[in-house]
């Protein structure tokens, strides 16, 4: 189910038909970790049975039954912040303080998950860049990544090719590689744990350079 701005929802049956066979086929040929990106409890359960290892939910496990599935199967989860729904989230997003509001939401959701029976070290958080935020709010969140790190959960950053980059470089989505790598590099320097990207090989090169410099720093006396 697409979560792009303006995207319409799809039926449970359609979503199951789209993701479960793919997971089953990947699992037949590889033990690579698989993350199911869904907000529907039924899809989460079916995906895990099919071989998925992790749940990534833009709705932070708030849908009926979603948190129970994660607890029942004891799988890692990524909780993302989103204001509204994909269909309406970009219609005048509004916050009292975008950074404090998002940090508070994610820490409260993480606490709810722990109270329900998930292990704290199996929870990651995602500020939800582009999900109910305007350009300025997105960059305020990005500049405040250390605030999310301080919450003591692994932080996932997904800004690859997004419109927040397009607004700065003034290029269409297929020409945002340099901007995407710059963002991934900065996120890595700020100690995020996961970067979600489209251009994997190029981003790995950039991250390896960041890590090499970091290692060299640690050796300087």
* Residue 124, strand partner residues: 78
- Mark whether 40 is an active-site residue: no
Using an 8 Å Cβ cutoff, are 192 and 157 in contact?
Answer: yes
Q: What is the DSSP letter of 87?
A: T
Looking at the chain, the whole-number percentage of residues with pLDDT higher than 90 is 90
What mean pLDDT is predicted for residues 195-214?
97
What gap in Å lies between CA 165 and CA 178, rounded to an integer? Answer: 10
Nearest to 188 by CA among 220, 217, 170, 213: 213
Give the model's pLDDT for residue 89: 64
- Beta-strand ranges (E) seen in the chain are 35-37, 54-57, 77-80, 123-126, 156-157, 194-195
* CB neighbour list of residue 18: distance below 8 Å, 6 or more residues apart: 10
Q: pLDDT averaged over the chain?
A: 96
Nearest to 28 by CA among 3, 55, 50: 50
Using an 8 Å Cβ cutoff, are 207 and 195 in contact?
Answer: yes
Give the model's pLDDT for residue 85: 78
- Mark whether 196 is an active-site residue: yes
What gap in Å lies between CA 41 and CA 86, rounded to an integer? Answer: 18
**Which of the following is catalytic: 62, 196, 217, 221?**
196
**Distance set, CA 14 to CA 5, 9, 66, 96 (Å):** 20, 10, 18, 37
What mean pLDDT is predicted for residues 141-148?
98
* Residue 126, strand partner residues: 80
What mean pLDDT is predicted for residues 50-58?
98
Confidence at 195, pLDDT banded by 50, 70, 90: very high
* Residue 125, strand partner residues: 79, 155
**Which of the following is catalytic: 45, 109, 161, 162?**
162
Structure tokens at 25: 């086929």
**pTM for this predicted structure:** 0.94
What mean pLDDT is predicted for residues 13-41?
97
3-state DSSP helix/strand/coil % of the chain, to nearest 5: 50, 10, 40
The alpha carbon of residue 18 and the mean position of all alpha carbons in its chain are separated, in whole angstroms, by: 20
DSSP 48-73: HHHT--EEEETTTT-STTHHHHHHHH
């Amino acid at each position: 189910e697409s979560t792009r701005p303006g995207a319409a929802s799809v039926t449970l049956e359609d979503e199951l038909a789209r993701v479960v066979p793919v997971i089953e086929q990947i699992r037949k040929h590889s033990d690579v970790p698989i993350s199911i990106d869904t907000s529907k409890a039924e899809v989460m359960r079916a995906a895990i049975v099919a071989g998925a290892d992790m749940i990534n939910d833009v709705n932070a496990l708030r849908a009926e039954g979603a948190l129970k599935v994660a607890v029942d199967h004891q799988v890692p989860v990524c909780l993302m912040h989103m204001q509204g729904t994909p269909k309406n989230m970009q219609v005048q997003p509004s916050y009292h303080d975008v950074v404090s509001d998002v940090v508070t939401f994610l820490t409260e959701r993480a606490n709810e998950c722990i109270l329900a029976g998930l292990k704290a070290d199996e929870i990651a958080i995602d500020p939800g860049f582009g999900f109910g935020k305007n350009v300025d709010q997105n960059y305020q969140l990005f500049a405040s990544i250390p605030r999310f790190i301080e919450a003591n959960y692994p932080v996932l950053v997904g800004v690859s090719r997004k419109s927040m980059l397009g607004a700065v470089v003034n290029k269409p989505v297929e020409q945002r590689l340099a901007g995407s790598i710059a963002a991934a590099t900065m996120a890595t320097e700020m100690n995020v744990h996961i970067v979600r990207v489209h251009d994997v090989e190029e981003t790995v090169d950039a991250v390896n350079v960041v890590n090499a410099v970091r290692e060299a720093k640690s050796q300087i006396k």
